[in-house]
Amino acid sequence: MDYYHTRELLLQKQISCKELVQSYLSRIEQHRHLNAFITIFADEALKRARIIDQKLARGEGGNLAGMVMAIKDILTIKGKRTTCGSRILENFVAPYDATVIQRLQAEDAIFIGKTNMDEFAMGSSNENSYFGPVKNPHDPERIPGGSSGGSAVAVAAGMAATALGTDTGGSIRQPAAMCGIVGLKPTYGRVSRFGLVAFASSLDQIGPMTTTVPDAALLLNIIAGHDPLDSTSAPVPVPDYTKELNKGIRGLRIGYPKEYFSEGLDPEIHQAIRKVLREMESEGAVIEELSLPHTDYAIATYYILATAEASSNLARYDGTRYGFRSEGALDLSEMYCQTRSQGFGEEVKRRIMLGTYVLSAGYYEAYYRKAQKVRTLIKRDFDSAFEKFDCLITPTSPTTAFKIGEKIDDPLQMYLSDIYTISANLTGIPGISVPCGKDSQG
């Protein structure tokens, strides 16, 4: 059930926040085999529900009163574990709240737990977590997408009304697509990253994962806005996104990039999107093909820049001040080496090594500097497109959810799962994934 209907039931006293939380906790227990959560806040959620019930009885309560949320375990909540799906932070307890957490709490949201994820958000299948893979609620033998797979599954399986995820190269939108929910990556700088454990700082963004677009718009209203604690957050007023939802699409100029509908796209996905385009055209939208000529360079560009930033951001995890520390080392250098070797998973170590390589002397100009230049070319492609079009429609993923273990030993194939989503991160533009059908296997 979406939050707008839930709120009506709460205001009409047909259900209480406590009963809502109890029902979600029951669903979490029922679907424990999906492995969506790392930490569950049962007692705290029930306590907060009772407080919000009292506020609603007095005619008070914030804009999110009674919204039961799951939080990706890469966002800090004071006094709670923030593991990032990694052994190296398995028992790390956050000393402060992320800005988005503060804003949600101020509007009386209820947090029910921290969700499983690919380690440090590095992955497209949620198979890279130290806490085990997450399973798709529609078919537990298949992946849910990643890296925000736990958040997507929590919403899709009814274990939370909504969730927060993070998106560095598609990590909100791709799992949303594979689990059949809505996933929104806001414009870079629209939402504060303070309290988000960094993967790639110029690409990371926090966004909502919901069952409906109105719920996503409502959450964006709350979490968006300038934050003096994040120098990259935009000092731009936040509009009421919910008021933009019922304007209709007559006259809207919609482009579909030909590079996104070429070889490699599942025919069933292609057909589903074509059907949507025809329906939009019948509603009065203007549909045209366009070209984004530098699309073919996006994957290489992304994996150079993202890994370079990751190698820098993850240098702080050495076992000295917090997190996992290897035992038995004879000196400091050996302790660093053993801690990072044992504390990080294979995919994280692969990306740290690649990032270190492209930043090293002799390769910085050949790889990192060139990737930044290509990033600019990709951004110019999109700038030109938006001079003519109001929005673009593309697939979210080249395939639907594949079997767990099917691609885990082929990192290049796994990286290609992000081919349609990474450009939004490279250019800083917003992107949203909405369901438009199912494949022949459901």
Length of the chain: 442
Rounded-to-integer distance, Cα 204 and Cα 428, Å: 9
Contact 41, 196 (CB under 8 A): no
Residue with tokens 């767990």: 404
* Coil vs helix vs strand at 199: coil
Please state, in angstroms and rounded to a whole number, the distance separating the CA atoms of residues 73 and 55: 29
Burial group, residue 338, by CB count within 10 angstroms (0-12, 13-18, 19+): middle
Question: Quick one: pLDDT band at residue 441, thresholds 50, 70, 90?
Answer: confident
Residue 220 corresponds to which tokens in the numbers above?
């964006």
Asked whether the whole model's pTM tops 0.85, one would answer yes
C-beta separation of 137 from 31 below 8 A: yes
pLDDT digits (tens, 9 = 90+) for 367-411: 999 999 999 999 999 999 999 999 999 999 999 999 999 999 898
Distance between CA atoms of residues 178 and 180, nearest Å: 6
Please, are residues 168 and 199 in contact by the beta-carbon 8 Å criterion?
A: yes
User: 257 has which bridge partners?
Assistant: 290
The pLDDT value given to residue 442: 61
pLDDT at residue 36 tops 90: yes
DSSP 32: G
- The pLDDT, as a whole number, for residue 292 is 98
Three-state DSSP state, 288:
strand
57-71 residue pLDDT tens: 999 999 999 999 999
Q: Look at residue 166 and give its three-state secondary structure.
A: strand
Annotated catalytic sites, by residue? 72, 147, 171
Whether the predicted pLDDT of 201 surpasses 90:
yes
What DSSP assignment string belongs to 310-339?
Answer: HHHHGGG-SSSSSS---S--SSHHHHHHHH
Greater confidence, 178 or 322?
178
Flag whether pLDDT at 329 surpasses 90: no
Domains of the chain (ranges; CATH) run 3-244 (3.90.1300.10)
pLDDT for 432 equals 99
What is the spatial distance between Cα 163 and Cα 148, in angstroms, rounded to a whole number? 10
> pLDDT digits over 301-320, tens only?
999 999 999 999 999 999 98
